[in-house]
Amino acid sequence: MVTAMGRTAPVLSVLVMLASAGAPTHAVTVPPVTVTVTIDQVAFREKSVSAHVGDTIEWVNKDIFDHTATAKNGAFNVDIPAGKKARIVLKRAGEIDYFCEYHPNMTARVVVAKAPQNQP
**87 in a structural domain:** yes
Q: Supply the pLDDT for residue 6.
A: 47
Sign of CA dihedral 89, 92, 97, 100: negative
Backbone angles phi, psi at 103, to 5 degrees: -135, 80
**83 in a structural domain:** yes
What CATH number should be reported for the domain holding residue 110?
2.60.40.420
Q: Supply the pLDDT for residue 18.
A: 41
Contacts of 41 (CB under 8 A, 6+ apart): 63
**22 in a structural domain:** no
Q: Is residue 80 predicted with pLDDT exceeding 60?
A: yes
Residue 40 domain boundaries: 28-118
How far, in Å, CA of 29 to CA of 115, rounded? 8
Structural domains counted in the chain:
1
Q: Is residue 41 predicted with pLDDT exceeding 90?
A: yes
Annotate 80-109 with DSSP letters as a single string. E-TT-EEEEE--S-EEEEEE-SSSTT-EEE
Q: Can you give the pTM of this predicted structure?
A: 0.74
Contact between 26 and 2 under an 8 Å Cβ cutoff? The reply is no
Q: Supply the pLDDT for residue 10.
A: 44
